[in-house]
Every structure is written in structure tokens, then in C-alpha cells.
Amino acid sequence: MSPATGFCLLSRRSGVHMRRYILTGAPGSGKTAVLRQLEIDGYAVVEEAATDVIALRQALGTQEPWREPAFLDDIADLQRRRQLSADTVARPVTFFDRSPVCTLALSRHLGVPAATGLRTELDRIRVARVYEPSVFFVRHQGSVRPTAARRISFEESLVFEKTHEAAYRELGFTLVEVPAAPLPVRAALIRQAVDAR
């Protein structure tokens, strides 16, 4: 692997170097809107797992699924399966809406230890260098809009933002700042950073 490709993995099927970039940030930062713009721009994207796990559990009648013992492992498992599924399509760049490192930050925010499945997944992505070492950190925009899955105040989201930042730095990732700005500006900043690598 050449220095120019960083932690890129070579797809066995296609010979295409696969770069997996994480988008992270505080709840309500506009991260998912940025992901939608990148998808419209032609990039492969992978959806956030935690929101879908919460939505499914709530549809099944559990109003606060984050209180269930298997919650964090279920998120980590879905993240792993989505990452592996994305790898079956030969795309040079894929953007991920969060990663298992975000799930670690969530466990710390909830005040519960990282469960076995989450720890195993964190080990896997570290050893295999699954994701690019540079993570796009989408900064808050001054407010949070509550949803069924997002029940957090703006003040709490700022604390959660710091928890995410600490978790990524602790695991050796470099944060690429995506400051508050209009959506096209944020997406352009990310595209330019990826094109420069």
C-alpha cells in the first residue's frame, strides 16, 4: 500500500482502492443533510445505524431502547454488516454516517460500559484499519431539533460532541473540521478534502 492511499483497502474483486470516510458530530449538527448532498453528488453513502435501531425498537413497542442491554451491540452489529455490504460494491469512496467509535461515545454518554460486541467491532476496525484515519467532524449549528430518536437538549448535545471528539482522538483518528456553514459549502469542503488525498 502506497503512502498516497493511506489506509485504503484494495477490493479483491475489482482492484479498486476503497476509501471509507466517517462523518460524525453532535446530534442535530446537519451531518445527515451533508451525507444526502454527497449522495446526490454521486458518492456512495452508508446510513446511520443507531437511528434505525432506535426506530425499529420503538416500532416494536420499546419507547426507550437505549435502556436495553443489547442496544449498543445491536448498533455495532448493524454498523459492521452495513460496512461489509458496502464493500461488495466497488466504489472508490464511501461516506459513513457515524461509525463504531460513535457507538463508543454513545456508551460513555449513557454511562454504560462498552459491551462485548462493541469492543470486538472496535478491535476489528482498528486492526484492519477499516476507515480512513481522517474523520469529518461536522460541528453543531447552534440548535437541536428533537425527533423520536433524538431526545437531547442543545446543551447536552455540546457535551456529547466533546465525548465524540475525545473518543475519536483516543483511538488515533485525526479530525477534519466541518464548521457551521450553508450545506453546499460544507459538502464542497468535504469533497475538496477527499479529492486532495
Q: Among candidates 74, 29, 28, 22, which has minimal Cα distance to 52?
A: 74
Q: Please count the structural domains in the chain.
A: 1
pTM, entire model: 0.85
Q: What is the CATH number of the domain that holds 72?
A: 3.40.50.300
| Cα angle for residues 146, 31, 115 (degrees, 5° grid) | 80
Phi/psi region, residue 9 (left: phi>0; alpha: psi -120 to 50; beta: rest), is: beta
* Structure confidence by residue, pLDDT tens digits, 118-167: 999 999 999 999 999 999 999 987 666 666 555 667 678 788 889 999 99
Distance CA 23, CA 103 (A): 13
* Structure confidence by residue, pLDDT tens digits, 164-194: 999 999 999 999 999 999 999 999 999 999 9
Burial status of residue 148 (CB atoms within 10 A of its CB: 0-12, 13-18, 19 or more): exposed
- 17-25 and 44-46: which strand pairing? unpaired
- Judge contact between 131 and 125, C-beta under 8 A: yes
The number of beta carbons lying within 10 Å of the beta carbon of residue 42 is 9
C-alpha cell of residue 94: 464511501
Query: Which has more pLDDT, 69 or 5?
Result: 69
* Structure confidence by residue, pLDDT tens digits, 9-38: 444 444 457 899 999 998 878 899 999 999
| pLDDT value for 159 | 82
| Boundaries of domain holding 37 | 3-195
The number of beta carbons lying within 10 Å of the beta carbon of residue 128 is 10
